Copies of this chain bind each other. A is one copy, B any other.
Amino acid sequence: MVTNPQPTIVQAPIHLRIADDIRMQIERGDLAPGDPLPTLAQLCDRWSCSMNSARGAVALLKAQGLINAGRGRAPIVRVPPARVIRSSEGHQVAKDLALRPEDERGAIGEAEATLGMSIHDQDFNATYNTITDSELADLFGIASNAPIMRRQFQAADPRTRHLLSSSTSYIPRTLIESNPDLLNPNNEPWPGGGQHQFLTVGIEIMSIIDHVTARMPTTVEAQQWNLADGVPLLTSRQIAFDRDDRPVDVSDATYPADRTEFRFTTRLRPWTTEAGDQPS
């Protein structure tokens, strides 16, 4: 039997009503970015509820990424940080760069191009391992116990120690061991230079597929990136294919969603006459 044929009108929980009221004030502009919220005392006076219920409302707004709160200070309406654009056009730029002479490649790194910050101003760290992983091996189409090179890259702000970028790249070891230089992390300026490194072993990247989704960060990730509450992480897995459409590199990365925007360009084949058959 259905429980409520004549549904009893239930008040929404008090903390939801408070949170909704504040959200509307923010959306209407009564509370501008940077403005402080009412104090907890004012809220529980205004709504005649206990402190903890008012706290619940503020906690919800925090979890939704609308406000910044901290001890000893009234919470303020969040000011959205500047967005870093990560464009798929960068793949082509990196490929073009790979053919240029050494000094030119060094001058323009991926970090500089997207973060507007020289790589020398970053606390950069690379770790190389050789692993086996049946799932990745499956993706590469190699034996499940075949050695895979794992390269982990992290850059942090030297002052704040907060992460600026973090990615992990996987390559079947047999593809690159003909050039011992590629197995040494000290030779690595940046993963963006990966296309040049593939060049030294005769591999040309012809296409890249990006897989993008998002999730909430773990507690550890939130403090590594210095994420405010309610900020998701964008996750990206890039798979690079060579001339034979063989996957040669898998690269996983995460980005804070409040300061990152992915931008992908799709060029379509023209309609006219007989449709031209080579894409982009």
Contact = CB atoms under 8 A, between A and B. Distances in A.
* Copies of this chain, tallied across the complex: 2
Given A216-B232, A271-B99, A264 B261 contact: no
For chain A, give the interface size range: 35 or more
A257 interface: yes
A216 B64 contact: yes
B23 A212 contact: no
Given A266-B92, A268-B205, A99 B275 contact: yes
A261 B211 contact: yes
Interface string A246-280: 00000000000110111111111111000100011
A102 interface: no
Nearest to A64: B216
Contacts of A231: 216
Contact of A215 (B210, B218, B257): B257
Nearest to A260: B213
A219 interface: yes
A214 interface: yes
A249 to B, nearest CB: 13
B268 A208 contact: yes
Nearest to A83: B213
Nearest to A16: B219
B262 A209 contact: no
Given A219-B16, A266-B207, A257 B96 contact: no
A12 to B, nearest CB: 9
Contacts of A92: 266, 268-269, 279-280
Nearest to A208: B266
A63 B65 contact: no
Interface of A: 16, 19-20, 23, 60, 63-65, 83, 88-89, 91-92, 95-96, 99, 204-219, 230-232, 234, 257-258, 260-271, 275, 279-280
Given A88-B266, A92-B280, 8 more contacts: A64-B217, A89-B280, A91-B268, A95-B268, A210-B265, A212-B234, A212-B262, A212-B264
